[in-house]
A and B are shown apart, each in its own frame.
Chain A
Amino acid sequence: MDTTPDHAQRPSSAAGASLAIELKKINKSFGSVHANRDIDLAVRRGTVHGIVGENGAGKSTLMSILYGFYHADSGEIVVGGKPVTIHNSSDALALGIGMVHQHFMLVDNFTVLENVILGAEDSALLKPSVDKARRELQRLASDYGLNVPVDALIEDLSVGQQQRVEILKALYRGADILILDEPTGVLTPAEADHLFEVLKTLRDEGKTIILITHKLREIMAITDMVSVMRQGQMVETLETAKTNPEQLAELMVGRRVLLRVEKDEAKPGDVLLDVTDLVVADDMGTERLKGVTLSVRAGEILGVAGVAGNGQSELLEALAGMRASKSGTIRLNGEDVTAHHPDSAATLRRKGLAHVPEDRLRMGLVTNFYEWENSILGYHDYDKYGSGLMLDVKAARAEAQRHIEKFDIRPANADLKTANFSGGNQQKIVLAREMERDPDVLIVGQPTRGVDIGAIEFIHNQIIKMRDAGKAILLVSVELDEIRSLSDRIVVLFDGEVVGEADPATADEGELGLLMAGVKSDTTPKREATT
């Protein structure tokens, strides 16, 4: 009934030769997205096996299948030499597979002990389980260096300690195979180093570790084998000792056919957007921008490259007036517009800033609104749409109609609910709205995320057009291709800091990839980025 650690149930290690896990021809689709395509993967027992790939390459999906959170559409899973079916997480646990999720699955107001035994209690009463867990955790702590205060509440622990609890949870349930999903994303470098020590110890004790990451530095530091995924497919599996970061970066990014954008030389004018030492914290109070300085001139596109979660969202929100800055200044047309209040977006718009948000569904659109209603979002109180209190629906509809024609939004029907438009057309609705206001500065986040190929080209051309019209454009994207083909200058954001600047004409993809992965973060002087 309960998923008590039961070693006898698991396939014997002798039978499985040296393979801990074998995945054969795994396929998984979400709607029209083929997240995993014919994936083969073999993981040797007692190794640290890295899986790298860009965001959306399908790594997490694959591991969720292995952990029973999703079901593969087709394919075979072999654990310890025996074909198995994994219906849910308890099946996976019974097979000795444990997972440390990117977002911890912990109960914040529980103690460490309570979290560890949750779901793995031995009896109806807690006392015996708690006592047993206390002894067991002591042993695990001394064996693997996994020290945590067992009676402390999770919410009082550091992120690194919480992660150790997640690992302890898996080990307490007798996991032999441990999957870690982007484990260092939330850790400080010191904490990450400690984690690596732990993982090495675990491996030396015979455990198998699968490490999902997009950070090449980590792959090189602790893995024995590395598999590279790209766009839902398994590209290559290599011995870590026989490869190098440059090769991996190339495999990750691939030699995709670039949608080269035709564009003339930029003619930069005055600085329109000037950011100095900007410090911004997220909702939890953690500083996500740690003193960013950058500037954008009229008639140029500044590309902000970086792996998601390195402060891009906070940068966009702070610039747009949706998030208060802790310190530093933002100047728009020379005027200090630093937001001290999260409700400043309207003011900034009036001063000539337009904002295409990175997440159109969460932020840029009200999907329940008709198309025409979304075409005035953020501008509804302009006199153009009615003086005084009333909303001039006719004027708004006319505006929407103009957008539809100019941006070729399909279906060309302003009275359709926005939810019924495709991703590309939804994005066009947002772009049209923000670009048609003739702003001085345009900040754009992930302009082509989830957008079909045809629309991508169109959107790129529109951005270039804005540049040529003398607008200052700040482009944030996790798509390196996009950054390279559009930008006139590139800065790389890593861990809330600008870690490097590059010229897109000469920058080498591998080099940018390394910057993004934080490999050269220590060697690149910060100040250079601010020219």
Chain B
Amino acid sequence: MEDIISILITTIRVSTPLILACLAGLYSERAGIVDIGLEGKLLGSAFGAAVVASVTGNVWLGLLAGIGVSMMFSAVHGLASINFRGNQIISGVALNFLASGLTVFLGAAWFGRGGNTPPLTGDARFYGIRLPFAQEVSGVPIIGPIYSGLLSGHTILTYLAFLAVPLTAWVLWRTRFGLRLRAVGENPKALDTAGMSVSWLRYKALMITAVLVGMGGAYLSTAQAASFSREMSSGRGYIALAALIFAKWKPYPALGACLLFGFLEAMQYRLQGVDLPLIGRVPTQAMQALPYVLTILLLAGFVGRAIAPKAAGQPYVKER
């Protein structure tokens, strides 16, 4: 039982940035903008958050800075793919390298720790929140470990990430903005002929993307870890992208896919050097590769079919 709880706690922890990045990608791709650059935004905002948190000693300012960094990335991406009708994939790839280069370069220049930021302490980082009555029920069997152990004690960003899922579903299916967002990713012309601005709508989507992925980045450096370290996103942006494809661009399945991939990561830590009955020792590398293998199989139509928003990746050109 304790084992299971501890694996699940790790799952929630490592899933948090995935969920935030995945939902971020959902807004962008639902609006028709492919975002390969999630990885870079995650890394860039982790850096921005850690830098400002460490300089000001205020984690909330750090969070804002993290979001600010991903906003700038989104702005460049929007400029390239909306205004200049450039290739969205190339733009995303470039932004990933930009983050990878700039974070270490600036970090090394400013802090001289080989690209890492100084350790964050005190108010400069997020801490776990104890939910009400967690202390009281901790002794109760079953409920105790689940409530006090598993559900309580995470940082505010984790709770926000989980809250963002129903919120996104609500926005997507219940609001005017959601309706238009989904429409612009499927058939921008339908919006244009109804007298709405395709570009502005796409920019709005990119801004939401920036906020969410910025929170995800800030989580990495100010909640999960207590400083920025080079390449600390380590492919999570791509995993989030894979999860998004896996979830067929829907919020609740996205949560499921992120938890699944998070669980695989948690198991990877847990199974290190453990001999399993029958299977023997599972190479951690196999667990690492699993999300990618699953996504490839899905994309190739071997497990279900992932159909992306129809207009995703195409610049909108009004003239015929």
Which B residue sits closest to A88, measured CB to CB? B195
Interface residues of B in 170-186 (CB under 8 A from A): 173-180, 182-183, 186
Among the listed A93, A107, A123, A129, which residue makes an inter-chain contact with B182, where contact means beta carbons less than 8 Å apart?
Answer: A107
Q: Which of A79-119 contact B (CB under 8 A)?
A: 88-93, 99, 101, 105-110, 114-115, 117-119
A114 to chain B: which residues have CB within 8 Å? Answer: 179
Q: Which residue of A lies closest to B193 (CB)?
A: A105
Contact with A along B162-173 (1 / 0, CB 8 A): 000000000001
By a CB distance below 8 angstroms, the chain B residues around A118 are 179-180, 183, 190-191, 194
| A101 to B182 Cα, complex, angstroms | 21
Q: Which of B180, B187, B192, B310 has the most CB of A within 10 A?
A: B187
* A107 and B180 form a contact (CB under 8 A): no
The smallest C-beta distance from B200 to any residue of chain A, in angstroms, reads 12
Contact, CB under 8 Å: B182 / A125: no
Q: How far is the CB of A119 from chain B (nearest CB, A)?
A: 3
A422 and B6 CA atoms in complex are apart in Å by 72
- Residues of chain A from 316 to 341 with CB closer than 8 A to chain B in the complex: none
Chain A CB within 8 A of B189 CB: yes
Judge whether A107 and B176 touch: CB under 8 Å. no
- What is the total of A-B residue contacts with beta carbons within 8 Å? 71
Task: Judge whether A377 is part of the interface by a CB distance below 8 angstroms.
Answer: no
Q: In chain B, what residue has the closest Cβ to A69?
A: B193
Report chain A residues within 8 Å CB of B190.
Answer: 105-107, 115, 118
Is residue A135 within 8 Å, beta carbon to beta carbon, of the partner chain? no
A99 — which chain B residues lie within 8 A by C-beta?
Answer: 193
- Say yes or no for A295: interface residue by CB 8 A criterion: no
Least CB distance, A61 to chain B, in whole angstroms: 10
Which positions 101-159 of chain B face chain A at CB distance < 8 Å? none
- Interface residue A126 (Cβ < 8 Å from any Cβ of B): yes
Report yes or no: A110 in contact with B182, Cβ–Cβ below 8 A: yes
Q: Is the CB of A89 within 8 A of B174?
A: no
Residues of A near B173 (CB, < 8 A) are 126
B196 interface hit (Cβ, 8 Å): yes
- The answer, yes or no, to whether A3 is at the interface (CB within 8 Å) is yes
Task: For the complex, count residues of B whose C-beta is within 8 A of A.
Answer: 21
Cβ of A124 within 8 Å of any chain B Cβ, yes or no, is yes
CB-nearest residue of chain B relative to A109?
B186
A107–B187 touching, CB < 8 Å: yes
User: Chain B residues with Cβ under 8 A from A371's Cβ?
Assistant: none
Cα distance, A257 to B41, chains bound together (Å): 65
Digitize B193-218: 1 where CB-to-A-CB distance is under 8 Å, 0 elsewhere: 11110000000000000000000000
Q: Could you say which residues of chain B place their CB within 8 Å of the CB of A123?
A: 176
The closest CB in chain B to the CB of A121 belongs to: B176
* Contact among A67, A101, A110, A124 with B175 in the assembled complex (CB-CB below 8 Å): A124
- From A101, A108, A121, A126, B193 is in contact (CB under 8 Å) with A101
Complex alpha-carbon distance, A104 and B175, angstroms: 24
Assembled-state Cα–Cα distance A119/B186 (Å): 15
B173 to chain A, nearest CB (A): 8
A120 and B176 contacting across the interface, CB-CB below 8 Å: no
- On whether the beta carbons of A119 and B174 are closer than 8 Å, the reply is no
Q: Chain A residues with Cβ under 8 A from B174's Cβ?
A: 125-127
**Contacts A90-B195, A105-B193, A108-B187 known; A117 to B175 CB distance under 8 Å?**
no
Q: Which of A91, A117, A119 contacts B191 (CB 8 A)?
A: A119
The answer to whether B195 and A93 touch across the interface, beta carbons within 8 angstroms, is: yes
A56-70 interface bits toward B, Cβ cutoff 8 Å, 1 = contact, 0 = none = 000000000001110
Assess whether A119 is in contact with B195, with CB atoms less than 8 Å apart. yes
A105 to B193 CA separation, bound complex (whole angstroms):
7
Specify which chain B residues have a CB less than 8 angstroms from the CB of A91 in the assembled complex.
Answer: 195
Which residues of chain A (356-413) have a CB below 8 Å from chain B? none
CB neighbours (8 Å) of B183 from chain A are: 107, 110, 118
B88 to chain A, nearest CB (A): 21
Q: Residues 231-255 of chain B: 1 if any A CB is under 8 Å from the residue's CB, otherwise 0?
A: 0000000000000000000000000
Give the contacting residue for A126; candidates B175, B186, B194, B195; CB below 8 A: B175
The smallest C-beta distance from B290 to any residue of chain A, in angstroms, reads 30
Interfacial chain B residues near A109, Cβ < 8 Å: 186
**CA distance in complex: A67, B195 (Å):** 10
Cβ of B187 and Cβ of A126 under 8 Å apart?
Answer: no
Q: Do the beta carbons of B189 and A126 come within 8 Å of each other?
A: no
* Residues of A with C-beta under 8 A to B196: 90, 119
CA distance A88 to B194 in the complex (A): 9
Nearest CB of B to A132, in Å: 13
Q: What are the residues of chain A within 8 A of B177 when measuring CB–CB?
A: 124
Chain A neighbourhood of B180, CB < 8 A: 118-119
Distance, CA A118 to CA B182, complexed state (A): 10
The answer to whether B194 and A93 touch across the interface, beta carbons within 8 angstroms, is yes
B222 to chain A, nearest CB (A): 33
Q: How far is the CA of A129 from the CA of B177 in the complex (A)?
A: 13
B305 to chain A, nearest CB (A): 14
For A88, what are the chain B residues with a Cβ–Cβ distance below 8 Å? 195
Instruction: Give CA–CA (A93, B195) in the complex, Å.
Output: 8
Q: Which of A89, A110, A117 contacts B186 (CB 8 A)?
A: A110
Q: State in angstroms the CA–CA spacing of A448 and B193 once bound together.
A: 33
CB-based contact B195/A3 at 8 Å: yes
Q: A68 to B179, alpha carbons, bound, how many Å?
A: 24
Asked whether A89 lies within 8 Å of B192 as measured between CB atoms, the reply is yes
A108-B310 CB under 8 A given contacts A118-B180, A126-B175, A127-B174: yes
Q: How far is the CB of A212 from chain B (nearest CB, A)?
A: 16
The interface residues of chain B lying within 8 Å CB-to-CB of A125 are 174-176
A121 to B180 alpha-carbon distance, docked (Å): 10
Bound: A409/B178 CA distance, A: 55
Q: Are A129 and B195 in contact (CB under 8 A)?
A: no
B183 closest partner in A (C-beta):
A107
Contacts beyond the supplied A3-B195, A108-B310: 20 A-B pairs with Cβ under 8 Å: A89-B193, A90-B195, A90-B196, A92-B195, A99-B193, A106-B190, A107-B186, A110-B179, A110-B182, A115-B190, A118-B183, A119-B180, A119-B191, A119-B196, A121-B179, A125-B174, A125-B175, A126-B175, A126-B176, A126-B178
A residues engaging B (CB < 8 A)?
Answer: 3, 67-69, 88-93, 99, 101, 105-110, 114-115, 117-121, 123-127, 129
22 A-B residue pairings within 8 Å (CB atoms): A67-B193, A68-B195, A89-B192, A89-B194, A91-B195, A105-B193, A106-B187, A108-B186, A110-B179, A114-B179, A118-B183, A118-B190, A119-B195, A120-B194, A121-B179, A123-B176, A124-B175, A124-B177, A125-B174, A125-B175, A125-B176, A126-B173
